Amino acid sequence: MLTNSDKKDSIETAPYTIQLDDTFYKISKYYSITLEDLIEANPSKDPDNIRVGDTLCIPLPLQKINFYTGFEYYTIKESDTIYKLAKKFNISINALLKANSNINPDALLPGQIICIPKPWNSYRNSTYKIGFMYPTRWAKISSLHYEGVDGFFRISSMSSIQELEEACKEEAYHKLKPYGSQPEIVLTTAAGLKACLAIPSEDQPMEMKKQAAIIIQYPQEVEIDNQYHNHLIIWVDKEHMYDIKNSLIFLD
């Protein structure tokens, strides 16, 4: 059980200026915290007698559910609020405030540039023996395919090709030209293993949705559907290719 000192160590706080018609209950719901925690964080305030313009301390629990990697920038518009932005980008208010400790959540300024943390979840597949991070906002299409408005991934494997370079060329230079007429092959590593990237050229067909490919040579053959496979392939949109490659791990 947490003691009071433990609880103080596990939270951060942000200021909030009381608005007309605010109540402690409404504010606690707005920030997804308990009414008890809000009262405890403001011992000098009477919950039944708050005044417009007064400042409250909002306790912000440290985020442990999502993994955040990188940021994107957003310019505040006239009608924006912290609540609307958190909903728009599918992140918690706490995470948004922690990423922008210099802003006043009750006085956002049009034209102001803020950081939007990118929340990522963990994907694991015991059959293909891999794990990596993917954007939380992507929906599950199947156990091997996740997709969102800004990208996707699908996974598969190759069983007939022995050498990595051969596998890369077969994928990148397929006769149907899924990566355009001049795809680039980049030799690299992923999770410490030999890998390559198939990067599309500018004339890639639009229906391919900017698909790139990550091909990794398994450390040893993996049995999938009664066949032995020596290469893993991850089809992913070009913008998220390096994020997924750099978070890749192989499972025992």
pLDDT at site 70: 59
Reported pTM: 0.60
Do 210 and 228 lie in one domain? The reply is yes
Write out the chain's pLDDT in tens, 252 residues. 233 333 343 345 567 788 888 888 888 877 767 888 888 888 888 888 888 888 888 776 544 334 555 577 899 999 999 888 988 877 778 778 888 888 888 889 999 999 888 777 889 999 999 999 898 778 999 999 999 988 999 999 988 777 899 999 999 999 999 999 999 999 999 988 999 999 999 999 999 999 999 999 998 889 998 899 999 999 999 999 998 998 898 887
CATH number of the domain where residue 33 is located: 3.10.350.10
Residues 143 and 35 in one domain: no
DSSP state letters, 99-157: HTTTS-TTS--TT-EEEEEEEEEEEEETTTTEEEEEETTPEEEETTEEEETTEEEEEEE
Does 95 share its domain with 135? no
Determine the structural domain holding residue 228 and report its residue range: 126-250
Q: How many domains does the chain have?
A: 3
- 232 and 190 co-located in one domain: yes
Phi first, then psi, for residue 200 (nearest 5°) are -70, 155
Do 49 and 113 share a structural domain?
A: no
112 and 177 co-located in one domain: no
Are residue 156 and residue 224 in the same domain, yes or no?
yes
The verdict on 221 and 178 lying in the same domain is: yes
